Structure 1
Amino acid sequence: MKKFKYSFGLLLGAVILLGSCRDFVEPRIPYTTFDTAAYLRTISSTSTSFSLDSLASSKFEIVVEAVDAEDGGTVETVEVRVRHRRLIPNVGLIYTPATDVIVKTLKKSDFAPNATSRFLRSTILVTATETLAAVGLAPGAIRADDVFEFRLVLNDRFGRVFTDSNISGDLTAPFYNSPFFYPVSVVAP
């Protein structure tokens, strides 16, 4: 009887072990036909503030890398949008204009190969003068602690649009570093 219990236990263990090795996903997942997205990884931020005393020479400058299934090849355009934000005590945030406006548009040809990565890169450079013209403000209307909100909108050749309002939280993490949103503060000297 003891031999029977031992043999039955071994047989049952073997059946469980062999049965657990089977893939139960039906139908099989077609990984090659997944619809993949695109994002813009921030490689470097050269200038992310405007100086109040030298607005004429201030600029917003970043280097971005287009990451997608084709190493950046699906990117058609990248819109650089901006709006001005000011915090008024006891009132709240005031935006000028109410919604962001396009200050610059990058085309596919603005992205180029680089020596350190297989993805295409481009430099986004917007001067403070271009920014003020886009939002309709004069240099004298700007104060320290104002903020210009730059937002990137990536359009790919499939008609899809990627921006800060439709990305998942993990893309803003340090590895992906793709916020699509860049606040540029106005600083006093």
Structure 2
Amino acid sequence: MNFRKLLFTAFAGCILFSCDSDDKVTNVVQDNVETGAVLRTVEIVENSIPIAIENGQTIISGEARLSIIIEEQDENEGALLESVDVYTTFSDGSPDTGDTSMAVTEEVFLGNIPASLFTAGPFGLPRLEFTLDGSELVSAVNLTPDALFGGDTFTTRFALNLTDGRTFSSDNAGGIITAGFFNSPFQYITPVVCNLDTNSFVGNYLIEEITPYVDGPTFADGSVVEVSVGDTDTERVFFTPNYPDYCTTPNDFKLLFVCGEIIIPIQESNCACSSGADFFGPTDAPANYDANDDTVFFVTFLNDVQNDCGPPAITTYQFTKQ
């Protein structure tokens, strides 16, 4: 992952481009690139399915749901919105726990949301408060709560249908759309998790990289960061520069505490060789945690999932409470 070579090449390319091309390329892009549409994530209210085991029975929490606020934007300020199709897919992340042999693992159609259910947001664009209960997701893929365990996931996908016949979703949206300013992934991964005290694994932590560097430290190695509760009770987030040898702007990094394991969801880097989307992600052997002891814990993740700057590498950080 050679950022140094990348930065030099990019700088040299900019010099050559400015000497030879004027505004011709800009004009070609404006004349030929088709304008699309996005479903921007305004807010994630809830996004987890907490479970508890009582008397041998798995109980789904009443707060288990995907609840988000989304906003549609197109070249006609929302006037092209026709409807949104909703799908879900189940993934068994705990094959040794729970019987999911009857599960539907192909994508399941959940329904269609017509444009009439959207309302005008503060900028005049169509907005929707969308909620999908955990019990609805479980039933849709032909499961019962007893089949679930931490690490299982439901992926809810949206397909945005326009009045001119076009459809946009996660399969035809680039990194600049799914992450960054537009924040329009068109899909949301809802994990099955075990309850976690919101006072645990929060506060100031010293972070230390204990695996070999990948072209320098991945985070601000040796610094103290503040870990706080994220969008759900089992999500934690902290801010740190990504590849501080090259980029100094802090970026958020999310951790999911999933029934004894710390899972790193797919997320972006703000220091990469191209878009930086889907840069960090989970490994096959995540770090474990003790829910009763948050003094020291480890975070293991896959670095450069998409082979953006080099081959993927496994990176581990130690977190020590201060």
- Same fold per TM (> 0.5)? yes
Q: Which residue of 1 aligns with 2:50?
A: 51
Q: Which residue of 2 aligns with 1:162?
A: 168
Residue 75 of structure 1 deviates from its aligned partner by 1.4
Q: Establish whether residue 178 from structure 1 lines up as the match of residue 202 from structure 2.
A: no
Distance 1:138 1:152, change over 3 A: same
Of 111, 136, 142, which residue of structure 2 is paired with 1:104? 111
Q: Establish whether residue 85 from structure 1 lines up as the match of residue 91 from structure 2.
A: yes
Residue 179 of structure 1 deviates from its aligned partner by 0.6
CA distance in 2, matches of 1:24, 1:124: 43
Q: Establish whether residue 37 from structure 1 lines up as the match of residue 43 from structure 2.
A: no
Q: Establish whether residue 132 from structure 1 lines up as the match of residue 138 from structure 2.
A: yes
Where 1:131 maps in the other structure, the secondary structure is helix
Of 74, 81, 97, which residue of structure 2 is paired with 1:75? 81
Where 2:47 maps in the other structure, the secondary structure is strand
CA distance in 1, matches of 2:43, 2:102: 27
CA distance in 1, matches of 2:172, 2:133: 27
CA deviation string 1:105-154 (max 9, x = no partner): 21101111122x22110011100111112111111111121111111111
Where 2:60 maps in the other structure, the secondary structure is helix
Larger relative contact order (CA 8 Å, sep ≥ 6) = 1
Amino acid at match of 2:111: K
Q: Which residue of 2 aligns with 1:151?
A: 157
Unaligned runs of 5+ in 1: 1-19
Residue 173 of structure 1 deviates from its aligned partner by 2.0
Provide the aligned C-alpha RMSD in A.
2.8
8 Å CA contact 1:86–1:95 kept in 2: the answer is no
CA distance in 2, matches of 1:95, 1:75: 37
Q: Percent identity of the aligned residues?
A: 27
Amino acid at match of 2:185: P
CA distance in 2, matches of 1:107, 1:33: 30
CA distance in 2, matches of 1:24, 1:134: 52
CA distance in 2, matches of 1:30, 1:165: 22
Residue 32 of structure 1 deviates from its aligned partner by 8.6
Amino acid at match of 1:48: N
CA distance in 2, matches of 1:164, 1:95: 27
Indicate the structure with greater helix content. Answer: 1
Distance 1:41 1:140, change over 3 A: same
Q: Report the structure number with the largest CA radius of gyration.
A: 1
Q: Which residue of 1 aligns with 2:231?
A: none
CA deviation string 1:134-184 (max 9, x = no partner): 111111111121111111111111111111011111112221100112110
Where 2:92 maps in the other structure, the secondary structure is strand
Distance 1:32 1:108, change over 3 A: farther
Residue 86 of structure 1 deviates from its aligned partner by 1.3
CA deviation string 1:33-81 (max 9, x = no partner): 9742111000000001111135252111010000101221211111121
